[in-house]
Copies of this chain bind each other. A is one copy, B any other.
Amino acid sequence: MYLEHVNSPEDVRALPASALPTLADEVRAAIIERTSAIGGHTGSNLATVELTIALHRVFETPHDKIVFDVSHQSYAHKMLTGRAAAFLDPARYAEASGFSNPGESEHDLFSMGHTSTSISLACGLASARDLAGETYDVVAVIGDGSLSGGLAFEGLDNAVELGSGLIIVVNDNEWSIAPNRGGIYRSLADLRATQGASEHNVFRALGLDYRYLEDGHDVAALEVALSELRGTDHPVVLHVHTEKGHGYAPAAANPEGWHHAVPFDVATGAVRPGAAAHPADENYANVTGALLADWMQTDPRVVAVNAATPYIMGFSPELRERAGRRFVDVGIAEEHAVSYVTGLARAGARPVLGIYATFLQRAYDQLWHDLCLNGVPATILVFGASAFGTTDVTHLGFFDIPMLGSMPGLTYLAPTCIEEYLDMLSWSIEHEGGPVAIRVPVAGGVTSRPEFARSDDYTHGWEVLRKGSQIALLALGDFLPLGEKIADALAVNDVSATLVNPRLATTPDKDLLGRLAADHRVIVTLEDGILDGGFGERCARALAAGDVRTLCYGLPRAFVDRYDPAELLARCGITVEGVAGDALGALGA
Interface residues of A, Cβ cutoff 8 Å to B? 65, 67, 102, 109-114, 117, 120-132, 148-161, 163, 181-184, 186-187, 199-202, 204-208, 300-301, 303, 325-326, 328, 330-331, 333, 335-336, 339-349, 351, 359, 361-362, 364-366, 368-370, 372-374, 393-394, 399, 402-403, 405-409, 506, 530-534, 536-538, 540-541, 543-547, 549-552, 557-559, 586
Q: How far is the CB of A309 from chain B (nearest CB, A)?
A: 16
Nearest 9 pairs of A and B residues by beta carbon: A124-B343, A150-B150, A183-B206, A160-B183, A364-B364, A128-B347, A533-B533, A120-B339, A154-B336
Q: Which residues of B contact A154 (CB under 8 A)?
A: 148-150, 153, 330, 333, 335-336
Contact A374 B110 (CB under 8 A): yes
Measured CB to CB, the closest approach of chain B to A179, in angstroms, equals 11
In the complex, the answer to whether A300 meets B347 with C-beta atoms within 8 Å is no
Contact B361 A361 (CB under 8 A): no
- Which residue on B lies nearest to A506, using beta carbons? B532
Apart from the given pairs A121-B342, A124-B346, A359-B365, 19 other A-B contacts in the complex at a CB distance below 8 Å: A102-B374, A109-B346, A110-B346, A114-B365, A114-B369, A117-B369, A124-B341, A127-B328, A127-B340, A127-B344, A150-B150, A157-B333, A199-B199, A200-B205, A200-B207, A204-B205, A409-B559, A532-B538, A537-B537
Interchain CB contact (< 8 A) of A340 among B120, B132, B150, B536: B120
Complex Cα distance A200/B126, Å?
A: 26
Q: Is B331's CB under 8 angstroms from A158's CB?
A: yes
How close is A394's CB to chain B, nearest CB, in angstroms?
7
Report B-chain residues with C-beta under 8 Å of the C-beta of A399.
368, 406
Q: How close is A495's CB to chain B, nearest CB, in angstroms?
A: 17
Q: What are some 23 contacts across the A-B interface (CB < 8 A)?
A: A114-B369, A121-B339, A122-B343, A123-B343, A124-B346, A125-B347, A127-B344, A128-B348, A132-B348, A150-B151, A151-B335, A154-B333, A154-B336, A158-B183, A158-B340, A199-B205, A409-B558, A537-B540, A537-B541, A543-B544, A545-B550, A545-B551, A547-B549
Contacting residue for A158 out of B207, B336, B366, B538, CB 8 A: B336
Taking the nearest CB of chain B, how far is it from the CB of A308, in angstroms? 12
What are the residues of chain B within 8 A of A112 when measuring CB–CB? Answer: 369-370, 373
| Contacts A127-B349, A364-B362, A369-B114 given; does A183 touch B156 at CB 8 Å | yes
Is A121 a contact partner of B343 (Cβ separation < 8 A)? yes
Chain B residues near A551 (CB-CB < 8 A): 544-545
Query: How many Å lie between the Cα of A479 and that of B126 in the bound state?
Result: 41
With A342-B110, A366-B151: A336-B200 Cβ-Cβ less than 8 Å: no
Docked complex Cα distance between A163 and B324 (Å): 12
Closest partner residue, chain B, to A543 (CB atom): B544
- Report the minimal beta-carbon distance from A573 to chain B, rounded to whole angstroms: 12
Within the complex, which residue of B102, B206, B368, B559 is in contact with A186, where a contact is CB–CB below 8 Å? B206
Contact of A159 among B122, B183, B540, B550 (CB under 8 A): B183
Task: Among B117, B150, B368, B537, point to the contact of A361 (Cβ < 8 A).
Answer: B368
The reply to whether B533 and A544 form a contact with Cβ atoms under 8 Å apart is no
Contact assessment for B348 and A124 in the assembled complex, using a CB-CB cutoff below 8 Å: no
Asked whether, in the complex, the Cβ of A120 is within 8 Å of the Cβ of B346, the reply is no
Once the chains bind, are B547 and A547 in contact (CB under 8 Å)? yes
Among the listed B67, B127, B160, which residue makes an inter-chain contact with A182, where contact means beta carbons less than 8 Å apart? B160
Interchain CA distance A532-B505 in the complex, whole Å: 12
With A150-B151, A403-B364 as known contacts, state yes or no: A549 contacts B545, CB within 8 Å.
Answer: yes
Q: Once the chains bind, are B110 and A155 in contact (CB under 8 Å)?
A: no
In the complex, the answer to whether B205 meets A373 with C-beta atoms within 8 Å is: no
Give the distance to chain B from A589, nearest Cβ to Cβ, in Å: 9
Are B330 and A370 within 8 A (Cβ)? no
Instruction: Tell me, in angstroms, the Cα distance from A330 to B154 when the chains sit together.
Output: 9
Across the interface, do B124 and A339 meet the contact criterion of CB distance under 8 Å? Answer: yes
Find chain B residues with CB under 8 A from A394 CB: 369, 373
Chain B residues with CB under 8 A of A110: 342, 346, 370, 374
Please give, as numbers and ranges, the residues of chain B lying within 8 Å of A538 by CB-CB distance: 532-533, 537
Do A374 and B124 touch (CB < 8 A)? Answer: no
Among B346, B359, B362, B536, the residue within 8 A (CB) of A125 is B346
Cα(A532)–Cα(B202), bound, Å: 44
Whether A132 contacts B349 by the Cβ 8 Å rule is yes
Query: Which of chain B's residues have a CB closer than 8 A to the CB of A409?
Result: 558-559
Q: A558 to B407: give the CA distance in the assembly, Å.
A: 8
